[in-house]
Amino acid sequence: MSTPSVPGGGPEQPADAATPSRPPRRVTIAAIAAEAGVSVPTVSKVLNGRSDVARATRARVEEVMARHQYKRRSRGPSPSGPPLVDLVFHEMESEWALEIVRGVETTLADLGASVVLTASEGKHRPGQQWLDGVLARRPLGVILVMSTLTSNQREQLESRAIPFVALDTDGEPPAGVPAVGSTNWDGGMAATRHLIELGHRRIAVISGPKDVLCSRARVDGFRSAHERAGLGYDPDLIRWGDFYIAGGYEHAMELLSRPDRPTAIFAGADMQAVGVLRAARELGLSVPRDLSVVGYDNLPLADWFSPRLTTVNQPLQAMAKTATSMMLTLAEGKQPPALRVDLATDLVVRESTAPRPHGVRS
């Protein structure tokens, strides 16, 4: 990877790297200032996220900039020495988050850039306070994990030429927003097909939240695997939850206590699978003899579960590296080869899956 030069704002630079369909507008700061009825230094302060501008003034300047689709030619040098990169998590949980931090840090190490870490406490949108900080510290760019920005926040970053990339988005990113994900539908398909091939006919899926796109894609893969095999599925065995241990445990306790309990469970996260394994143990079910379990993510820890977990490998480090590289390319004022990249998932078969137990009705 090449070191991103501090963009010099030369005329050859595309004015609007993130949204190439929008024609570049060359409205000047002076014009913005005149229209907002403020001085040029005031517009400059707003651009640099300085706090010494009255809220109302600032809102007026932002409004005029947004209306004219004003966009700085370059982010300008960071005011704080070595470059920073903002990394925003909706929540920092388990090795899942650490794998992403590792991927980002590894990619930045050669640049001497540091990571500013923000966890937005379970909210999928970081707050305005965070954005104010970004405008002031002018990072090379922003990487948003399972988080989205409001259109207003996007405009503020775009006008300052601070690129942002969505990583493993919670929803469909708006057109023009660069995004890196993985093939969730294929992952759901592969996990379910594996269980079907082992003879399982009552397969449950415990996915993430219904409003998070990757959860839906995995469940759709689950459905398609059944359909392609000419099999029906019991809608009662499709469960939406969260990606955490306790949720996996509760769903599994309920599913496995049914008289027509499933013989296999596809969990939407390795951490959920931990909860499923616990539930099975408490109910006296042996994995994989009585119950097959497939996880999702392939965290380093999954290989150490008891039994070693069969799971869908989601290449989190590679996804983070790809998102970081894409952000650095945009920070250089260049276009990445593609604005949307999904990395492949693949099934890793270990010990937690086995043929359907005898004597269990299908």
Contact call for residues 268 and 215 (beta carbons, < 8 A): yes
Helix (H, G, I), strand (E, B) or coil at 239: strand
Quickly count: other Cβ atoms within 10 Å of residue 16's Cβ: 16
Tokens 């923000």 -> residue = 118
Q: How far is the CB of 350 from a copy of itself (least distance, A)?
A: 13
- Member of 14, 20, 24, 112 binding a copy of itself (CB under 8 A): 112
Torsion sign over Cα 278, 280, 283, 285: negative
Over the window 244 to 263, marking each residue x when it contacts a copy of itself by CB under 8 A and - when it does not, the resulting string is -x------------------
Q: How far is the CB of 206 from a copy of itself (least distance, A)?
A: 15
Residues 133-172 that bind a copy of itself (CB under 8 A): 133, 135-138
Segment contacting a copy of itself (CB under 8 A): 109-117, 231-239, 319-327, 333-341?
109-117
Return the number of the residue (91 or 186) whose C-beta is nearest a copy of itself. 91
Does position 278 interact with a copy of itself (CB under 8 A)? The reply is yes
Contact call for residues 206 and 274 (beta carbons, < 8 A): no
* Residue 168 CA neighbour count, 13 Å, CB half: 26
Residue 329 phi/psi, 5-degree rounding, is -60, -45
* Rounded Cα distance, 202 and 281, in Å: 19
Tokens 């994990």 -> residue = 145
* Rounded Cα distance, 153 and 360, in Å: 54
Return the number of the residue (138 or 194) whose C-beta is nearest a copy of itself. 138
Does position 119 interact with a copy of itself (CB under 8 A)? The reply is yes
Q: How far is the CB of 98 from a copy of itself (least distance, A)?
A: 6
Does position 94 interact with a copy of itself (CB under 8 A)? The reply is yes
* Rounded Cα distance, 94 and 96, in Å: 5
Does position 101 interact with a copy of itself (CB under 8 A)? The reply is yes
Does position 80 interact with a copy of itself (CB under 8 A)? The reply is yes
Does position 98 interact with a copy of itself (CB under 8 A)? The reply is yes
Of 219, 212, 257, 256, residue with least CA distance to 235:
219
Return the number of the residue (121 or 227) whose C-beta is nearest a copy of itself. 121
**Taking the mean position of all CA atoms in its chain, how far away is CA 75?**
24
Residues lying near a copy of itself in the complex (CB under 8 A) are found at: 49-51, 78-82, 84, 87, 92-95, 97-98, 101-102, 105, 109, 112, 114-119, 121, 129-130, 132-133, 135-138, 245, 274-275, 277-278, 281, 301, 304, 306
